[in-house]
Amino acid sequence: MSDSFVDVGRIEKAAALIDPVFRDTPQFPAPRLGDELGFEALLKVETINPIRCFKGRGTDFLVRTSDPGEVLVCASAGNLGQGLAFAASGRGLTAKIFAAGSVNPRKLSAMRRFGASVGLVDGDFDAARDRAAEEAARHGWKLVEDGSDPPLAEGAGTIAVELTRAGARPVDHVLVPTGNGSLACGVAAWFKAVSPSTKVIAVGAAGAPAMEHAWRTGDTTPGGPTTTLAEGLAARVPAARAVRAMRSTVDDFVLVDDGQLVEAVRLLVRTTGLVAEPSGAAAVAAAVALRRDLAGANVAMVITGANIAPGLLPGLPD
């Protein structure tokens, strides 16, 4: 590969090493969903674990590379913070999280329940990231950055290992929700090495287009304020290392708006019974938008999280 951000050998190592509670997640055909969309739908469900999202894979792998007694600090919209808190507490490390004051209260409660101290800051996720970097530099803590730390991407890439396990039918396309890019980097690196015919499609929010713009142009200039309810996709400042890696491995990058995300959440519930948060259902939203291009194909969709904000969708339990 032209970018050394993600090492395929370390993805393979992570697949055997990370906490079994996050590995070997359900992956199964969803015929009712596929019938509606006009292709064979394969779901990879990353919501049935203690933190209800895929972030535990990368954070567990990262914590295993950290020194005993180390203090880990990150900015999070909620899911990365949960993963870091869960992994750190299990290995006797300290996790300190910074989040925007508007953070999903369910995610805030979970981060604290898993043992992290959480500081709330004015502004958006990237303001929280600036604060985390300042505190890490001031105290000598280890700064954990989604889209910049290879173990986060390599741990997330174990999803692709499972999708290409011996005996599995080759996937024509895989759709991957993309915020700061760790998941897309890890998944794309593995597929390009093991199943290069598979097309990897990153999915972002129309209200947070900075990463998509950077992927297309190479320009990592920060974007304007984000305007999406999908906090997991709301990156305003592109992660430069992730962008460089994705430009050589990701085949396409599509944006979906909030209306499409909400409809995807509802479509998942109606056809499969699965509950996802809007960012977690982004792959399904993109599949609906691309259904004509995907007709007849075998399409994998990664369902990345189920920590839905209370009251977001009437009719779903809080």
Q: For residue 187, give the 3-state DSSP assignment.
A: helix
Residue spans of the chain under pLDDT 50: 1-2, 318
By C-alpha distance, which of 178, 171, 172, 157 is closest to 305? 178
Q: Domain 55-147 has what CATH class?
A: alpha beta
What is the rounded distance in angstroms from the CA atom of residue 225 to the CA atom of residue 234? Answer: 9
Out of 3.40.50.1100, 2.40.50.140, 3.40.50.10860, 3.20.20.100, the CATH code matching 8-53+151-303 is: 3.40.50.1100
Q: What integer pLDDT is reported at residue 3 of this predicted model?
A: 52
User: Rounded to an integer, what distance in angstroms lies between the CA atom of residue 124 and that of residue 114?
Assistant: 23
Question: Which pLDDT belongs to residue 2?
Answer: 42
What are the strands, taking DSSP E only, across 30-123? 40-45, 71-75, 94-100, 117-121
Domain limits of the chain?
Answer: 8-53+151-303, 55-147
CA nearest neighbour of 10 among 190, 201, 231, 248: 190
Q: What is the pLDDT of residue 311?
A: 78
Q: What is the pLDDT of residue 166?
A: 67
The yes-or-no answer to whether 8-53+151-303 and 55-147 have a common fold is yes
Residue 17: per-residue pLDDT: 97
Per-residue pLDDT, 1? 37
Q: Is residue 67 packed enough to be buried (19+ CB in 10 Å), middle (13-18) or exposed (0-12)? A: exposed
Output the DSSP codes for 107-168: HHHHHHHTT-EEEEESS-HHHHHHHHHHHHHHHTPEEE-TTT-HHHHHHHTHHHHHHT-TTP
User: Can you give the pLDDT at residue 310?
Assistant: 82
Spatial distance between the Cα atoms of 50 and 112, rounded to a whole number of angstroms: 14
Tally of residues, the chain: 318
> Would you say 56 and 79 are in contact if contact means Cβ atoms under 8 Å apart?
no
